Amino acid sequence: MKNLFNYIKLYPSFFNWKIFSEGAFFSAWGHTRAPFSVNFQITDKCNLKCKACSFFGSGERSSSCANEADLESIRNFLLSISKYKPVVSFGGGEPFARGDFLEILKTAKKECGLKTIVITNGTLLGDETINIISGSKLTDYLVISLYNLYEKHDEIVGVKGAFEKTLGNIRKLVKLRGVELIVSTVLMEENARDLERFAGFFLNEGVKKIKIEHQNFITEKEHEAFNGSAVFCPGTFIKKGRFDEQFIKEAWDVLGRIRKAYPSVFVKPPLSRKEFYGWYGADPAAAGKCHFIKHSFFISPRGQIIPCQYFNNCVLGQIGRDDPIRLWNSMNYRKAREIIERGSFAMCSRCCK
Ligand code: SF4
Ligand code: SF4
C-alpha cells in the first residue's frame, strides 16, 4: 500500500478512480482486467554506458537494434489498447536514440489520448525536440536519469560532458514549463555520500521532484542459482556479497536526512529501516511479493510482450500479432504469473516495482 501512495504522490496525474474499481477485480482474479501500465523498452540503442545500467553497464554499447519494433506495429498496438487507458511508459536504452521517437510519442499522446512518461538520459534532446515536447505537452512526465554532479556523473555514465549537456537541457525545459520534470537517480556506493547535495542542486535549478531508486542488484550466488538467465549484465549489478555495513549505515542516515530536508524527494520503494538493511545486506528473507506482473507489463525493443524487464526470456506475446487484452487474461499469462510468484527469484527480492 505504501508503494501505491508513493506512486500517486510522484505521478498524481496518473491517479484515477479506475484504480479502486480495478482493485475489486484484482482481489477476485489476482490481476487487473487490463494492464494499468504498458512499459516500452522502445529501443536498446544508447549513447551512454552507465555503470548503473542493468542492460549496458558492462560497457558494451548498442548502436543498432536488429528487428526493432517498427512505428506501424507500435501504433497499431497503442490503438488497440487505448480504450483501456493504460499509462504508457517509454524507456530504453535511450528513447531519443530512435529517430522516430517523437512520432511514437505523438501517437500515444495525441492520437490515442494516453497518459505518458518518458525516461531519458537527457543528452539527446536538441532545442527543436525540447520545443516540440514542451509546446505540445507530449508527455505527462519527463524523467531524467542522473547519477551525480558534473565529472562524477560523467565518470559513472562513461561519457565526458554528459552532465553539462543534460543540465543545459534541464534548464531549457524548466524555463519552458511545458512538461513536469523529475530527476531520477539510483543509490550507489559511488554517489551515496553526495545525494544530499545532488537533491539540493536540482531542486534549486527548479526541478520539482527528485526520485531516488534503490539498487536492483543480485549476488553472485543468486545469479548462479538462477543459471545466469536474469538480464543483469555481469559486472554491473551482480555483487560479490553483501554491501559493507559502513555503507548500509551511512546510506540509511543520508536518506533519513534527505527525507527530512526535502519533502519533494521520493525514495522508491519506500523501505523501512529493517527492509533497507535486509535489501543491502542481501538478506534472502527480504524477498517480497510481486504485484507488478498482475497490473502491468513490459514490451521489449523487438515488440515482445514480457512480464517484466528482468524476465526478457519469458516472451508471452508479440505486439502487432496478439490481441493484448486476450493475452493478458489468457491461461498462459496466468501460468507465468504463478510461476514467477512461486519461484521466489532473486531479483524479485530487491525490485523497485
Ligand atoms: S542512459 Fe540508461 S540505457 Fe543508457 S547506459 Fe545509461 S542507464 Fe543504460
Ligand atoms: S523483478 Fe520480480 S518483483 Fe520485480 S517486477 Fe519483475 S517479477 Fe515482479
pLDDT at 240: 73
- For residue 61, is pLDDT > 50? no
- What is the bridge-based pairing of β-strands 37-41 and 141-145? unpaired
121: CA distance to ligand 1 center in Å? 7
Around ligand 1, the residues with Cβ closer than 6 Å are 46, 48-50, 52-53, 55-56, 92-94, 121, 145, 157
Nearest residue (CA) to ligand 1, atom 1 = 121
- DSSP letter for each residue of 129-163: HHHHHHHTT--SEEEEE--SSHHHHHHHHT-TTHH
Provide the whole-model pTM: 0.93
pLDDT of residue 58: 41
Range from 5-19, 234-248, 249-263 that averages highest in pLDDT: 249-263
Task: Specify the residue with its C-alpha closest to ligand 2, atom 2.
Answer: 348
For 109, phi and psi rounded to 5 degrees? -85, -50
pLDDT at 287: 55
Residue 342 class from Cβ within 10 Å (0-12 exposed, 13-18 middle, 19+ buried)? exposed
Q: State the pLDDT at residue 57.
A: 43
**How does residue 8 score in pLDDT terms, banded at 50, 70 and 90?**
confident
pLDDT at 299: 97
Q: Residue 39: helix, strand or coil by DSSP?
A: strand
DSSP lists the bridge partners of residue 51 as: none
Is pLDDT at 290 greater than 60 in this prediction? yes
pLDDT band at 344 (very low <50, low <70, confident <90, very high): confident
Q: 259 or 309: which carries more pLDDT confidence? A: 259
Question: Ligand 2 centre from 260 Cα, in Å?
Answer: 30
C-alpha of residue 157 to centroid of ligand 1, in Å: 8
Give the number of the atom of ligand 1 that is nearest the alpha carbon of residue 55. 8
Alpha carbon of 348 to ligand 2 centroid (Å): 5
Rounded to the nearest angstrom, the distance between the alpha carbon of 56 and the centre of ligand 2 is 19
What is the number of residues in the chain? Answer: 353
Q: What are phi and psi of 245, to 5 degrees?
A: -60, -35
Model confidence band, residue 291 (pLDDT cutoffs 50, 70, 90): confident
Query: For the residues 134-161, what does the mean pLDDT come to?
Result: 96
Q: What is the pLDDT of residue 128?
A: 97
The amino acid sitting at 251 is: A
pLDDT on residue 55: 63
Closest Cα partner for 307 from 344, 349, 338, 276?
338
Cα–Cα distance, 65 to 69 (Å, whole number): 9
What are the angstrom distances between the C-alpha of 2 and each of 7, 271, 353?
Answer: 9, 9, 12
Q: Which ligand is nearest to the CA of 295?
A: 2
Closest CA to 186 of 223, 228, 237: 237
> Which pLDDT score, from 0 to 100, does residue 147 have?
96
What's the maximum distance between 2 C-alpha atoms anywhere in the chain? 52
Instruction: State if residue 306 touches ligand 2 by the CB under 6 angstroms criterion.
Output: no
Q: Return the higher-pLDDT residue of 11 and 229.
A: 11
* Closest ligand, as measured to the CA of 231: 2
Say if residue 113 is exposed, middle or buried (CB neighbours under 10 Å; 0-12, 13-18, 19+). exposed
The pLDDT > 90 percentage for the chain reads: 66
Ligand 2 atom having least distance to the Cα of 351: 4
What's the mean pLDDT when you consider all of the chain?
A: 88
Q: For ligand 2, say whether the CB of 353 is within 6 Å of any of its atoms.
A: yes
* Ligand 2 center–CA 330 separation, angstroms: 19
**What average pLDDT does the segment 51-62 reach?**
57
Q: Which of 82-96, 128-142, 216-230 has the lowest mean pLDDT?
A: 216-230
pLDDT for position 286: 53
From 45, 46, 183, 300, give the residue whose CB has the most ligand 1 atoms within 8 Å, as the site to mutate. 46
Residue 340 alpha carbon, nearest atom of ligand 2: 7
Find where cell 498462459 sits: 332
* Sequence-separated (6 or more) residues with CB below 8 Å from residue 88: 37, 38, 39, 40, 78, 108, 114, 115, 116, 117
Q: What is the pLDDT of residue 214?
A: 93
Rounded to an integer, the average pLDDT of 328-338 is 95
Among 145, 165, 166, 216, which is best to mutate for testing ligand 1, by the most ligand atoms less than 8 A from CB? Answer: 145
- Taking CA atoms only, the protein residue closest to ligand 2 atom 3 is 348
Q: What average pLDDT score do residues 236-263 get?
A: 88
More confident residue, 9 or 170: 170
Using most ligand atoms within 8 A of CB, pick from 31, 289, 290 the residue to mutate for ligand 2: 290
How many Å lie between the centroid of ligand 2 and the Cα of residue 295?
12
* Gap between the Cα atoms of 287 and 284, Å rounded: 6
285 burial (CB, 10 Å; 0-12 / 13-18 / 19+) is: exposed
Reported as a single tens digit per residue, the pLDDT across 265-278 is 999 999 999 999 98
Beta bridge partners of 238: 218
Residue 252 CA to residue 260 CA, distance in Å, equals 13
Cell (9 digits) for 5: 501512495
Q: What ranges make up the beta strands (E) of the chain?
A: 37-41, 87-91, 116-120, 141-145, 180-186, 209-213, 218-219, 238-239, 265-268, 296-299, 304-306, 317-318
Average pLDDT over residues 327-331: 96
pLDDT tens column, 211-245: 999 988 888 877 777 665 555 655 567 777 678 89
What is the per-residue pLDDT for 232? 60
Continuous segment of H or E residues that includes residue 6: helix 2-10
Burial of residue 2, with CB atoms counted within 10 A of its CB: 0-12 exposed, 13-18 middle, 19 or more buried: exposed
Distance between CA atoms of residues 101 and 1, nearest Å: 34
